[in-house]
Amino acid sequence: MPRVPHKNLVNVTLALSLQSLSVNLINIFVPLLLLDRGVRLWGVCLYYLAYAVCKLAVNYPSVLLIQKFSPRVGLVIALCCSSVYVSSFNLLSTGLPAWSLVATAAAMALTNAFLWNSQHIHLARMLVTGSRGTELAVIESVSRLMVLSAPLVGGVAISVGGQRALLLSAVGLTLLAVVPAWRIQVAGEADPRFDEPVRYGLGQTSKRDLWANFCYNANAVIAMMVWPVYMAEVVSDFADIGVINTVSALAATVLLWVAGRRGDAGKTRRVLAEGTVLVSLTNVLRLFALNPITITAVGTAAQLAGSYQNIPWTSTYYGHAGKEGVQYVMAMEIAGDMAYVFVWMALFGVSLAFSQGHTVFVVAFVLTSLLSLGVLRMRAPESPRPVPEPVSQ
């Protein structure tokens, strides 16, 4: 399989980085925006449950469209949906009824369905086995460096210029990402593994991989969604939340390169195991984050662990997807969506059953601390194929 063209890697990195910067300007503040509108904790859980159900519903149609029109078109659709998602929060600030949050959740679901499936299918075809970890580290590191200031800048912007300034900036960045996205070159040669008709179902995909992906995404729910809700409950200031996340992201960026290079050196499985254990431990530590100082410390530790785990996990995922094709991506995404639905359904039930909001977070952190260890069930990646030395005459 050919190496990722330099311009292709640049365009993929720019598109994903700008989109991440845009979404990160508001995602970390979404729970606080909801709570400021008077939404109760169970309502916040219901909002994210609505997102999870919508994502599960639109996942299959998005794969079919990406397969028909190419991952590049899928990525552009994702960016357009992301603009709608960000804009919807601007409309919500004008006093639209709470039920309109369902439309916002649906827009976020469409964004992630097209974004993640386009990314998985395209990179699984293009990344080179022997340097996949390093190439992923390039994409992840640049994305993190670009979004590094997002929480801090977002916190200052919303404190000085209000929600409208924050949301309009996010929309502009998303639309700007369309330019490099459209310049991405799709793999030229046909690949039957990615062009074959895709079925909605788990098919013959390894049950070990499906369970591992379920567990990985259960932890992703905590890192990307539950933790911001927890911070909104404990830290009620936008600027403080921005500072906390900037410090955490800065520390985490360094480990991306370490994990990527160790993976390419043939230690992917070991790095995945180390990162998974660290992720499980940091979920337990979240129980003891009760003020801005401890939240910053635990948040930093959690991002470090997540970064260290992410590169070998993604490298292994793309390695299997590159061999097994689009049906593997479809099955793995179903497993991931089911994890989101399961976690948010559980937390919604707990939030209704208990009046104390802290109980929801205790259940979330303990549950995912145990589930996150299931990532170790992922099948080992293929060994990088060494380049043969030229034979001397």
Q: What angle do CA 366, 47, 61 make, to 5 degrees?
A: 100
User: How far is 349 from 359, CA to CA, in rounded Å?
Assistant: 11
In the chain, what are the domain boundaries? Answer: 6-185+199-377
User: How far is 42 from 352, CA to CA, in rounded Å?
Assistant: 6
Q: Is the dihedral of CA 266, 263, 219, 123 positive or negative?
A: negative
> Per the structure block, which two tokens stand in for 319?
């390695």
Q: What angle do CA 289, 290, 295 make, to 5 degrees?
A: 45
- Of the chain, the end-to-end C-alpha distance in Å amounts to 28
Sequential DSSP letters for 87-150: HHHHHHTTT--GGGHHHHHHHHHHHHHHHHHHHHHHHHHHS-GGGHHHHHHHHHHHHHHHHTTH
User: How far is 390 from 393, CA to CA, in rounded Å?
Assistant: 9
pLDDT of residue 314: 85
* Phi, psi of 381, deg, nearest 5: -75, 160
State the DSSP code for 373: G
Determine the residue type at 263: G
pLDDT of residue 388: 41
> Do the beta carbons of residue 78 and residue 19 sit within 8 Å?
yes
Helical packing angle, 41-69 and 326-353, nearest 10°: 170
* Residues 6 or more apart whose Cβ sits within 8 Å of residue 256: 137, 140, 141, 144, 307, 310, 311
pLDDT of residue 280: 95
pLDDT of residue 41: 86
pLDDT of residue 312: 85
- Give, in order, the Cα–Cα distances in Å from 175 to each of 65, 73, 87, 226, 259: 21, 14, 12, 28, 32
Query: Which residue, chain included where needed, has tokens 């230690």?
Result: 267
Report the top-level CATH class of 6-185+199-377.
Answer: mainly alpha
> Do the beta carbons of residue 163 and residue 151 sit within 8 Å?
no
- Give, in order, the Cα–Cα distances in Å from 207 to each of 203, 264, 374: 10, 26, 12
Neighbours of 266 (CB within 10 A): 13
pLDDT in tens, 206-248: 999 999 999 999 999 988 888 888 877 776 554 555 555 555 5
User: How far is 167 from 29, CA to CA, in rounded Å?
Assistant: 11
- Give, in order, the Cα–Cα distances in Å from 75 to each of 23, 102, 116, 117: 15, 23, 9, 9
User: How far is 328 from 318, CA to CA, in rounded Å?
Assistant: 10
This prediction has a pTM of 0.79
Sequential DSSP letters for 239-301: HHHHHHHHHHHHHHHHHHHHHHHHIIIIIHHHHHHHHHHHHHHHHHHGGG--SHHHHHHHHHH
State the DSSP code for 98: G
User: How far is 73 from 301, CA to CA, in rounded Å?
Assistant: 37
> Per the structure block, which two tokens stand in for 264?
């390419």
- CA-only gyration radius of the chain, Å: 20
Give the chain's residues under pLDDT 70: 1-9, 28-29, 89-99, 122-158, 163, 186-195, 235-266, 381-393
Query: Which residue, chain included where needed, has tokens 């995922």?
Result: 317
